[in-house]
Amino acid sequence: MTRPFNFSAGPAALPEEVLQQAASEMLDWHGSGMSVMEMSHRGKEFISIAQQAESDLREILAIPANYKVLFMQGGAIAENAIVPMNLSSRGGHMDYVVTGSWSLKSQKEARKYGQVNVIASNEADGHTTVPDPASWQLSRNAAYVHVCSNETINGIELHELPDLKALGCDAPLVIDCSSHIASRPIDWSRVGLAYAGAQKNIGPAGLTLVIVREDLLGHALPITPSAFDYKIVADHDSMYNTPPTYAIYLAGLVFQWIKRQHEGALQGLDAIEARNIAKADRLYGYLDASGFYSTHVAVNARSRMNAPFFLPAEALYEPFLAGAKTQGLLQLKGHKSVGGLRASIYNALPLAGVDALVAYLKEFAQRHG
């Protein structure tokens, strides 16, 4: 029996192979007589799981040695507070670029911890473009510059991270990459800190990844909870408090799955990225050609991961979603703030899933066009 294709924005589909492996190891991990959920986080079994997960992630994303990988909790929404608590003391204020719902929320939360400057915003065009970095009003002495590199709700992706140094800005770039981490490489020469909730592209909810350059540690405000102080977390190898052990294990299985992928001569993350490009091209290509469905995001800002799209009449949404479900195409409803439909096509969604969706889109358009 084949499983349905799941287009959820998050928590989202995981690779079937990974779920099967987790199921087979559920009661007894590698002869230990324990489920991973039942192990001490300080025992040698779990420490080996966490170390393997970190080293696989470092390999996949080519994380330089002077960056720490932290396994935290609270999700990206907690990071909206944890980032300013840890970094705001480095400068007089914090610069934020607003490109959609998530970055809007990030800058709002940061205001609790200091002065925030919104240095660019696409609010005027309804979050459908990416403001050109050359137009950003970068300020002197910012503690950091924050962007959301993939806006999950609006379907906007920064296909190239800004080169702040080239723009005359010394502040570190902070990216919320929750919904496209491990879908493409990251240019670390442009990034000081990256954070991501795991539940979009790398694992179950409950784990938050923080990848931070070492010189950014040790600046936390005195009010920062110890468990959220990056330096304390780093000094304890993410075991200051009990980390989300099962979520780390599952993310580790996903990292190994990524390493096993290949497309022609491409391996690992390169294969994943090529596949993601092919999937997005196929979906947007059909939507554009259909003359029935519409999209709002500027073509050069379209996310490879999250594609919002719309039907020509409000009355069609209910039959569309009901019909999709009977075809094994799940969770296509758009976010309530944008409306319409949204197909999230993360790493775990195979090209065959996009093909099945396009086939249904065609059939639905023929019936109702």
Ligand X SMILES: *Cc1c(COP(=O)(O)O)cnc(C)c1O
Q: How far is the CB of 10 from ligand X (least distance, A)?
A: 5
Q: Does 152 bind ligand X (CB under 6 A)?
A: yes
Q: Pick the piece of the chain touching ligand X (CB under 6 A) from 71-79, 109-117, 123-131, 307-315.
A: 71-79
**What phi, psi does 70 have (nearest 5°)?**
-115, 135
Q: Map residue 218 onto helix, strand or coil.
A: coil
Residues 100-119 that bind ligand X (CB under 6 A): 102
Question: Which one of residues 197, 244, 340, 353 is an interface residue with ligand X (CB under 6 A)?
Answer: 197
Rounded to whole angstroms, the maximal C-alpha distance in the chain is: 62
Q: Does 75 bind ligand X (CB under 6 A)?
A: yes
Residues 245-264 that bind ligand X (CB under 6 A): none
**Cβ contacts of 363 within 8 Å, gap of 6 or more:** none
Comparison of 84 and 91: residue with beta carbon closer to ligand X: 84
From 102, 229, 231, 257, active-site residue: 102
Comparison of 10 and 162: residue with beta carbon closer to ligand X: 10
Asked whether the beta carbons of 83 and 76 are under 8 A apart, the reply is no
Of all residues in this chain, which one has the CB nearest to ligand X in the complex?
75
Examine the residue annotation and report whether 29 is marked as an active-site residue of this protein: no
Q: How far is the CB of 276 from ligand X (least distance, A)?
A: 16
Q: Pick the piece of the chain touching ligand X (CB under 6 A) from 74-82, 139-147, 183-191, 267-275.
A: 74-82
From 200, 231, 257, 279, active-site residue: 200
Write the DSSP symbol of residue 294: B
Asked whether the beta carbons of 110 and 116 are under 8 A apart, the reply is yes
Asked whether the beta carbons of 138 and 119 are under 8 A apart, the reply is yes
Q: What string marks each residue from 163 to 182 as x (binds ligand X by CB under 6 A) or -?
A: -------------x-xx---
Q: Does 195 bind ligand X (CB under 6 A)?
A: no
Comparison of 109 and 355: residue with beta carbon closer to ligand X: 109
Examine the residue annotation and report whether 237 is marked as an active-site residue of this protein: no
Say how far apart CA 52 and CA 56 lie, in whole Å.
Answer: 6
Say how far apart CA 56 and CA 53 lie, in whole Å.
Answer: 5
User: What is the four-CA torsion angle of 4, 266, 251, 82, rounded to 10 degrees?
Assistant: -110
Asked whether the beta carbons of 179 and 10 are under 8 A apart, the reply is yes
Q: How far is the CB of 61 from ligand X (least distance, A)?
A: 17
Comparison of 193 and 271: residue with beta carbon closer to ligand X: 193
Q: What is the DSSP string of 132-196?
A: -GGG--PPTTEEEEEEESEETTTTEE-SS---TGGGT--SPEEEE-TTTTTSS---GGG-SEEEE
User: Degrees (nearest 5) of the Cα angle 77, 78, 80?
Assistant: 65
Q: Does 148 bind ligand X (CB under 6 A)?
A: yes
Q: What is the DSSP string of 306-323?
A: EEEEB-SSGGGHHHHHHH
Q: How far is the CB of 100 from ligand X (least distance, A)?
A: 8
Q: Does 10 bind ligand X (CB under 6 A)?
A: yes
Residue 216 CA: distances (Å) to CA of 91, 163, 212: 12, 18, 7
Q: Pick the piece of the chain touching ligand X (CB under 6 A) from 51-59, 64-72, 73-81, 316-324.
A: 73-81
- The size of the interface with ligand X (CB under 6 A), counted in residues, is 12
Q: What string marks each residue from 199 to 218 as x (binds ligand X by CB under 6 A) or -?
A: -x------------------
Question: Which one of residues 34, 77, 239, 266 is an interface residue with ligand X (CB under 6 A)?
Answer: 77
From 56, 95, 136, 176, active-site residue: 176
Catalytic residues: 102, 176, 200
- Under the rule (CB under 6 A), what is the footprint of ligand X? 10, 75-77, 102, 148, 152, 176, 178-179, 197, 200
